[in-house]
């Protein structure tokens, strides 16, 4: 569904229609008021990968930067496929990000970074949308999709590939989408088949892989790497403020589902055949339990599945 209509449908027909009207009106105003800022954009960002893999916290941190705006699940890939203009795409992203900020930067969980720039910007150097699973499925369905994005935005494309332990990721998909764990595994590895093709679809400079567990263990290091990838300045306090809202330890969702032994063996074999997943396994590694880090007073809701 295009440009946030997936969300609108969850509100019911009346509230959903009101949401769509509000977003279209807001984006039209922003298109007039912010057109000059669009010329400052130096990179267009999309997320790729798998549902329930930890994209949201990474997207929230990038969106908190003073020179970046990343909308939460706008559905930018649909707007591109439908043939929107660059200015319509950018203004819809700004409208969605502003609306999400007014809601407190939360869905079922809170993603607010205190003291930062969510929903607004100083200079718009990076703009994009966070909806990794949907973009990956779009690439699978439309091999020319990334070329269409490049032609539309005419600035460097950046793809953030967020990876999580496949057993936790599959379990989260199974629970969230109410699928048998076997079906969730098939669904997950279909996404893997698509991301494995990125080497032939992208330049190395266009893709950065982030491991969810590494973000938890070393948030400052990973966020600094993300800033470097996107060409964003690490100004005073930014990385520290974002690191303060990263979860203290991984959530082992794999413990919440029943695993047939044959399926565990099959998944571990597929992990070994997938270079980006190597090192993951069913057993909980000791290094996935870092020393607790200070949590800012007031805290935040901890999502069970990233």
pLDDT in tens, the chain (306 residues): 344 444 444 556 767 788 788 888 888 888 888 889 999 999 999 999 999 999 999 999 999 999 999 999 999 999 999 999 999 999 999 999 999 988 888 877 788 999 999 989 999 999 999 999 999 999 999 999 999 999 999 999 999 999 999 999 999 999 999 999 999 999 999 999 999 999 899 999 999 999 999 999 999 999 999 999 999 999 999 999 999 999 888 889 999 999 999 999 999 999 999 999 999 999 866 554 433 333 333 333 333 344
What is the pLDDT, as a whole number, of residue 29? 86
Domain boundaries, the chain: 5-166+204-252
CB 47 within 8 A of CB 130: yes
Residues 6+ apart with CB under 8 A from 237: 115
Instruction: Round to whole Å and give the CA distance between 278 and 120.
Output: 38
Q: What pLDDT sits at residue 285?
A: 62
Nearest Cα to Cα of residue 191 among 278, 132, 150, 149: 132
Structure tokens at 217: 């263990």
Q: Give the CATH number of domain 5-166+204-252; options: 3.40.50, 3.30.70, 1.10.3470, 1.10.10.
A: 3.40.50
Return the pLDDT at 10.
53
Write down the residue that tokens 């706008």 correspond to: 74
Tokens at 117, concatenated = 């720039």
Looking at residue 16, its pLDDT comes to 73
pLDDT of residue 142: 95
Measure the CA–CA gap between 122 and 72, rounded to whole angstroms.
Answer: 19
Residue 30, pLDDT score? 86
pLDDT at 12: 66
């Amino acid at each position: 569904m295009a440009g946030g209509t997936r969300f609108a449908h969850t509100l019911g027909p009346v509230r959903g229609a009101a949401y769509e009207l509000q977003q279209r009106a807001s984006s039209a105003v922003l298109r007039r008021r912010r057109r000059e800022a669009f010329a400052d954009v130096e990179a267009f960002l999309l997320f790729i990968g798998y549902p329930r893999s930890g994209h949201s916290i990474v997207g929230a941190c990038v969106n908190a930067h003073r020179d970046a705006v990343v909308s939460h699940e706008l559905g930018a890939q649909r707007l591109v496929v439908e043939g929107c203009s660059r200015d319509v795409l950018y203004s819809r992203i700004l409208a969605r990000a502003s609306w999400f900020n007014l809601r407190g930067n939360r869905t079922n969980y809170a993603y607010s970074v205190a003291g930062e720039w969510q929903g607004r910007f100083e200079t718009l150097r990076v703009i994009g949308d966070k909806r990794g699973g949907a973009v990956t499925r779009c690439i699978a369905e439309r091999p020319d999709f990334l070329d269409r994005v490049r032609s539309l935005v005419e600035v460097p494309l950046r793809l953030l590939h967020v990876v999580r332990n496949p057993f936790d990721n599959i379990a989260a998909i199974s629970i969230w989408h109410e699928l048998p764990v076997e079906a969730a595994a098939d669904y997950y590895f279909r996404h893997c088949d698509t991301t494995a093709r990125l080497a032939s679809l992208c330049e190395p400079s266009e893709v950065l892989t982030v491991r969810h567990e590494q973000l938890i263990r070393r948030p400052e290091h990973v966020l600094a790497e993300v800033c470097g990838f996107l060409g964003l300045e690490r100004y005073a306090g930014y990385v520290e403020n974002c690191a303060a809202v990263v979860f203290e330890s991984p959530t082992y969702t794999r413990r919440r589902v029943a695993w047939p032994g044959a399926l565990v063996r099959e998944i571990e074999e597929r992990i070994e055949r997938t270079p980006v997943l190597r090192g993951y396994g069913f057993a909980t590694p000791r290094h996935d339990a870092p020393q607790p880090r200070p949590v800012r007073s007031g805290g935040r809701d901890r999502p069970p599945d990233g």
